[in-house]
Amino acid sequence: MVKRKFRLPCVIILAVLLALTMLPLFVSMAAAAGEAANDNVIKPLIFVHGFMGSGAQFESQAMRFASNGYPADLIDVFEYDSIDLRYGSQDMNKVLAALDAKIDAVRAATGYDQVYVAGHSMGTTVMHNYLSTPERAARVAKYVNIDGRTADAPPGGVPTLALWAGIGSPERTIVGATNVILPNQAHVQACTSPEAFVEMYKFLAEKEPVTDQILPEAGGKAELGGRAVYFPQNTGVQDATLEIWEVDGATGFRKSDTPQATYPLSGDGLWGPFQGKAGAYYEFNIVKEGVAPHHQYFEPFMRSDYLIRLNTSPPGGIADMLEHSDKHSGLVIIRNKEFLGDQAEGNNDALEIEGQNVINALGCPLSDRVIAIFVYDNQICADRANIYAKIGVNRQGFTLKRIGLYLISECDHFFSI
């Protein structure tokens, strides 16, 4: 287990990208980069996320596609306010109209008449509605349905690959589609795993991928970009500044007195591209007047990544649920794969904070599909013991969990993860 020490600012968000561990360089980068998908079948690929999701659920897959020679500029995402769609005033027709605009923009920018679309969870509901209109279905050459809606026929008659999480209800099917069960995988993992990528690549590119890994680029290139968004609405952060700092991977200390780059945030919250270094550690700090800064840290980037999502919240949003002060702080740990604590011995995750494993059967059962853990002092913890309480539940997707733990943020205090 790798442990790192951090000096805590007011609020920290640690985002853990799947499969970004360093790979042996004997894997042939040239082979993967040189064998792109068949030019006759390659088309733009758009990902539609699920409830409380975003383009982040396709971040690792986009890099796997690029590692196999699929042009990165042909991979895009469609993001919407899934909370408002389910519980608020936004109806499906508005979401479908926005998806029309996204597909039209991609077609105009790339020159392709048709696109591929992959939908996950609630995103499959969006896509089944979209493809029910023949004019819309004609724009989609192939469709990937990831652990979501079933159907008696491929939606809209579009050739369909249906991926199903092996943990849950693997008996689901779309009649007439290519149905694949991903053994021992849960709901979010079925969207982000290497195994899911292989099936998607074979279906879309009509050939086996060279690799299911994320490979480094020649010369250590790691061009970074994405959006700073309010979670879970996926609206862009306004009137703020993004600072990017290179930090020491062992301590979290900044390596310089000035950031490597700054970007004003407005509109859609787009930022970048930032010319980073493969293998380096970076802090992404969102600064907004009158709001505590949000510091976000990722595992080192192996290659260029254009789907980085920096989640924050407006005043009154979910971040206000984290108790913090000048002397103690809050921590959010996210990965787009379920944390499991109730499996057979040897199959559970471990996440130690100050030597205390916070993953267990009570807080992270498979049934809860936990992918985000909020750690802070909730002022009701007896003797600072861990107390799990759901602060947000996606009944068809994943769960956010709260852990009561006091984290000192004084200048000379460090803690380990």
Tokens at residue 319, please? 């971040």
Using the predicted structure, report yes or no on whether residue 43 has a pLDDT greater than 70. yes
- Residue for token digits 């970074």? 224
Q: What are the distances in angstroms from CA 31 to CA 38, 72, 207, 217, 378?
A: 15, 17, 14, 12, 52
**pLDDT tens, residue by residue, 130-186:** 999 999 999 999 999 999 999 999 999 999 999 999 987 878 999 999 999 999 999
For 21, which DSSP code? Answer: S
Using the predicted structure, report yes or no on whether residue 391 has a pLDDT greater than 60. no
Query: If DSSP codes are grouped into helix, strand and coil, which group holds residue 131?
Result: helix
- Structure confidence at residue 410 (pLDDT): 55
Tokens at residue 366, please? 């498979």
> For the chain, what percent of residues have pLDDT higher than 90?
59
Mean pLDDT (the chain) is 84
Give which of 347, 335, 250, 352 is closest to 1, Cα–Cα.
Answer: 352
**Cβ contact 98:80 at 8 Å:** yes
For 24, which DSSP code? Answer: P
pTM: 0.86
Using the predicted structure, report yes or no on whether residue 23 has a pLDDT greater than 60. no
Cβ partners under 8 Å of residue 108, min gap 6: none
CB-based burial of residue 239 (10 Å sphere; 0-12 exposed, 13-18 middle, 19+ buried)?
exposed
| 381 band by pLDDT with thresholds 50, 70 and 90 | very low
Give which of 203, 165, 220, 191 is closest to 61, Cα–Cα.
Answer: 191
Give which of 279, 359, 273 is closest to 308, Cα–Cα.
Answer: 273
Query: If DSSP codes are grouped into helix, strand and coil, which group holds residue 218?
Result: helix
Domains and CATH numbers, the chain: 5-17+218-416 (2.60.40.2190), 29-205 (3.40.50.1820)
What would the mean pLDDT of 312-327 be, rounded to a whole number? 71
Residue with the bigger pLDDT between 15 and 60: it is 60
Using the predicted structure, report yes or no on whether residue 327 has a pLDDT greater than 80. no
Tokens at residue 340, please? 């499991």
Using CA of residue 91, residue 96, residue 98, residue 99, what is the dihedral sign?
positive
Query: If DSSP codes are grouped into helix, strand and coil, which group holds residue 242?
Result: strand
- Structure confidence at residue 167 (pLDDT): 87
Using the predicted structure, report yes or no on whether residue 343 has a pLDDT greater than 80. yes
Using the predicted structure, report yes or no on whether residue 128 has a pLDDT greater than 90. yes
Using the predicted structure, report yes or no on whether residue 265 has a pLDDT greater than 50. yes
Using the predicted structure, report yes or no on whether residue 84 has a pLDDT greater than 90. no
- Residue for token digits 């200390």? 253
Rg (CA), the chain: 21
Query: Which of 208-222, 253-267, 337-351, 354-368 has the lowest average pLDDT?
Result: 354-368
Give which of 316, 321, 339 is closest to 331, Cα–Cα.
Answer: 321
Q: Is the peptide bond before 209 cis (omega within 30 degrees of 0)?
A: no
What would the mean pLDDT of 189-207 be, rounded to a whole number? 97
Query: If DSSP codes are grouped into helix, strand and coil, which group holds residue 382?
Result: helix
| 14 band by pLDDT with thresholds 50, 70 and 90 | low
Q: Are strands 399-404 and 388-393 parallel, antiparallel or unpaired?
A: antiparallel
Give which of 397, 324, 389, 345 is closest to 367, Cα–Cα.
Answer: 397
Tokens at residue 365, please? 């059962």
- Phi first, then psi, for residue 256 (nearest 5°) are -145, 170
- Structure confidence at residue 396 (pLDDT): 37
- Structure confidence at residue 200 (pLDDT): 98
| 221 band by pLDDT with thresholds 50, 70 and 90 | very high
| 373 band by pLDDT with thresholds 50, 70 and 90 | confident
Residue with the bigger pLDDT between 283 and 37: it is 283
- Structure confidence at residue 4 (pLDDT): 53
Residue with the bigger pLDDT between 399 and 95: it is 95
- Structure confidence at residue 95 (pLDDT): 95
* Single-letter amino acid, residue 354: E
DSSP characters for 69-112? T--GGGEEEE---HHHHHHSS--HHHHHHHHHHHHHHHHHHH--
| 34 band by pLDDT with thresholds 50, 70 and 90 | very low
Give the chain's largest Cα–Cα span. Answer: 64
